[in-house]
């Protein structure tokens, strides 16, 4: 098992309609684990490093083709014509490679079988090449084989496949089914397909007929029987898609645990296969990790946190947070109830606390935005403390502007930064300051007018109210009436 297997081609069948999905979206574009079904199929096909990767399309052709091109720009497209059947689909796939000499192994897989792994596909190719087979089919034993093609055997040898609709009673009793995934010798495949007719119960050109034709030519045909049903399971409706998605997640979460992540509650933890988790990370219940999210060693995520394309540094803590496109550096603390939008970068040991929304903001090391605020289009230096309820007013109704805050800055509660504005290093702001002008290093910015107390205002303007009564009582206790002459209003 040392020779690297490089099949001549993998042909992914993706021309079918998938009507049971009840959707305007083509079936194979529905997603599980953050990737479309066809995306999973292309990933597995690509992983065995074929010389050519071909997807056969027909139903909603342009939409499917655009999606495939976006997912794998080296994949070739083949259009299936009006002749129906898996055999015709493969024939169209081969026609798309007409300019190339195909020798060796051609693998066929389905666009709607998303859990097939490169490892199992590689096993199939090894078996095929090791035995010098003409055809090797991936099969499985199932309790309910209805609808599937059945594997016909003579001892160890496979002599053919009969479709459910064409099978007799005794054939229908066979529980070994055809997964639809095969390795073929390229020349045998092309030659046999030319002989396949559409004379069967469905009037389709069956790929399965290639097996008996190959045997008739003297070729060897055998099967790799997988114990792992999920890997050959297709999704035809949303119930099956959900089941496959849950199983994919179960496998992904289990793999993460085996690689050193503590997961408290796998049942409420959703991790996409594209996510990377380093050793000694912890994922608390109710957490979803999507896309290119990367969690470094020692970080604790959750509970109830959703991160998409977020990079979390070593030892960081992210609690009850919704984040995307953000970077949290080592030791950073985020949450609870925090909304990190794209472009947020929190420096080492920094903090973005409760009820904060951030967007396109770079926060320097050890700086803190602890409570209740909005920071957008801003840059904050190191060791600064942004007070409770601070807001960057970054939008003038037409354009966005930047707020630049230096290092060792202390801003008081409810400061509003009317961007564009800059605060130098070591600057302070007073409570409620509306900062419209730049603040020099070390200056205190105050913008609020002197406080005036209008004595007795409540008694005069809200007579008989509970506030007026309370004020009166307080006045009696203090020896005041609480209703003396006041300044004008
Ligand atoms: C096929 C097999 C059957 C096997 C089953 C496994 C044949 C004749 N039968 O059944 O033995 O047990 O798969 O699921 O091959 N497709 C095309 N073009 C077509 C028809 C199908 O691209 O003209 C694609 C579909 O998009 C799908 C795959 O081929 O990805 C299988 O098609 P489907 O109709 O589900 O399979 P069957 O032919 O019923
Ligand atoms: Ca079918």
Q: Please tell me which residue in 59, 164, 322, 371 is annotated as part of the active site.
A: 371
- Percent of the chain exceeding pLDDT 70 equals 97
Coil, strand, or helix at residue 230? helix
Q: Give the tens place of pLDDT for each residue, 103-156.
A: 999 999 999 999 999 999 999 999 999 999 999 999 999 999 999 999 999 988
HSE value, Cβ hemisphere, 13 Å, CA-based, for 386: 37
320: which DSSP letter? S
Residue 27 C-alpha to ligand 2 middle, in angstroms?
13
Q: Which pLDDT belongs to residue 1?
A: 46
Q: Is the predicted pLDDT of residue 38 greater than 90, yes or no?
A: yes
Q: Whose CA is nearest to atom 3 of ligand 1?
A: 149
| pLDDT at 485 exceeding the cut of 50 | no
Decide: 112 and 37 in contact? Cβ < 8 Å: yes
Q: 464-469 long-range CB contacts below 8 Å, 24 or more apart?
A: none
Weakest-pLDDT range from 78-82, 370-374, 479-483: 479-483
Q: Could you report the per-residue pLDDT of 172-229, keeping only the tens digit for each?
A: 999 999 999 999 999 999 999 999 999 999 999 999 999 999 999 999 999 999 999 9
Identify the pLDDT of residue 349. Answer: 98
CB within 8 Å of 294: residues ≥ 6 apart: 275, 276, 277, 310, 311, 312
At 3 the pLDDT is: 56
Mean pLDDT of 282-309: 98
**pLDDT at res. 253:** 98
How far is 321 from 341, CA to CA, in rounded Å? 11
Q: Is the pLDDT reported for residue 39 higher than 50?
A: yes
Structure tokens of 334? 């985020």
- Per-residue pLDDT tens for 239-291? 999 999 999 999 999 999 999 999 999 999 999 999 999 999 999 999 999 99
Residue with the smallest CA separation from ligand 1 atom 22 is 15
For residue 64, is pLDDT > 60?
yes
Q: Which ligand is nearest to the CA of 234?
A: 1
Cα Rg for the chain, rounded, in angstroms? 33
- Residue 165 class from Cβ within 10 Å (0-12 exposed, 13-18 middle, 19+ buried)? exposed
Q: Is residue 482 over pLDDT 80?
A: no
Contacts of 250 (CB under 8 A, 6+ apart): 266
Instruction: Kindly report the number of other CB atoms within 10 A of residue 202's CB atom.
Output: 12
Q: Is the CB of 180 under 6 A from ligand 1?
A: yes
User: Is 371 marked active-site?
Assistant: yes
User: What is the atom index within ligand 1 of the atom nearest the CA of 179?
Assistant: 6
What are the φ/ψ torsions at residue 252 (nearest 5 degrees)? -65, -45
DSSP for 249-291, written as a single string:
HHHHHHHHHHTTEEES-GGG-EE-TT-EE-TTEEE-SS-EEET
The H or E element spanning position 45 is helix 37-47
Give the pTM: 0.93
**Beta carbons of 232 and 140 less than 8 angstroms apart:** yes
Q: Give all domains of the chain, ordered by start, each with its CATH number.
A: 9-232 (3.90.550.10), 261-445 (2.160.10.10), 453-489 (no CATH)
Considering only CA atoms, which of 99, 79, 97 is closest in space to residue 89?
A: 79
DSSP secondary-structure letter at 108? E
Helix, strand, coil distribution of the chain in percent, nearest 5: 25, 30, 45
């Amino acid at each position: 098992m040392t020779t690297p297997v490089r099949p001549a081609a993998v042909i992914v069948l993706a021309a079918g309609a998938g009507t049971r999905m009840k959707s305007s979206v083509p079936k194979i574009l529905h997603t599980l684990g953050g990737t479309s079904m066809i995306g999973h199929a292309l990933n597995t096909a690509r992983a065995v490093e074929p010389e050519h990767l071909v997807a056969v399309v027909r139903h909603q052709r342009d939409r499917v083709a655009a999606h495939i091109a976006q997912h794998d720009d080296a994949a070739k497209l083949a259009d299936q014509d009006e002749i129906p059947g898996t055999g015709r689909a493969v024939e169209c796939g081969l026609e798309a490679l007409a300019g190339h000499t195909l020798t060796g192994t051609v693998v066929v897989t389905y666009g709607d079988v998303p859990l097939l792994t490169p490892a199992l596909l590689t096993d199939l190719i090894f078996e095929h090449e090791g035995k010098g087979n003409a055809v090797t089919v991936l099969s499985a034993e199932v309790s309910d084989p209805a609808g599937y093609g059945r594997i016909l055997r003579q001892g160890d040898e496979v002599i053919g496949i009969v479709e459910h609709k064409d099978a007799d009673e005794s054939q229908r009793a066979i529980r070994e089914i055809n997964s639809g995934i095969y390795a073929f010798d390229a020349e045998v495949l092309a030659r046999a397909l030319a002989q396949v007719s559409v004379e069967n119960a469905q009037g389709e050109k069956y790929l399965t007929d290639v097996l008996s034709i190959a045997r008739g030519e003297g070729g060897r045909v055998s099967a790799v029987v997988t114990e792992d049903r999920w890997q050959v399971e297709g999704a035809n409706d949303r119930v099956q898609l959900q089941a496959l998605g849950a199983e994919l997640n179960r496998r992904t979460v289990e793999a993460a645990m085996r690689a050193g992540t503590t997961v408290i509650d796998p049942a409420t933890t959703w991790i996409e296969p594209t996510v990377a988790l380093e050793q000694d990370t912890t994922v608390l219940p109710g957490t979803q990790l999507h896309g290119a999210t990367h969690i470094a060693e020692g970080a604790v995520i959750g509970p109830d946190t959703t991160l998409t394309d977020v990079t979390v540094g070593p030892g960081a803590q992210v609690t009850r947070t919704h984040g995307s496109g953000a970077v949290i550096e080592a030791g950073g603390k985020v949450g609870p109830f925090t909304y990190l939008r794209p472009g947020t970068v929190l420096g080492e040991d920094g903090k973005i606390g409760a009820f904060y929304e951030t967007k396109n903001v770079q926060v320097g090391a050890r700086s803190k935005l602890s409570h209740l605020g909005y920071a957008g289009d801003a840059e904050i230096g190191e060791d600064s403390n942004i007070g409770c309820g601070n807001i960057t007013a970054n939008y003038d109704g037409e354009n966005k502007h930047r707020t630049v805050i230096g290092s060792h800055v202390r801003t008081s509660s409810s400061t509003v930064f009317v961007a564009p504005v800059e605060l130098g290093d070591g600057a302070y702001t007073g409570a409620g300051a509306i900062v419209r002008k730049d603040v020099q290093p070390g200056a205190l910015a105050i913008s609020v007018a002197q406080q005036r107390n209008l004595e007795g205002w409540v008694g005069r303007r809200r007579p008989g109210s509970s506030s007026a009564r309370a004020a009166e009582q307080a006045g009696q206790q203090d020896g005041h009436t609480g209703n003396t002459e006041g300044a004008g209003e």
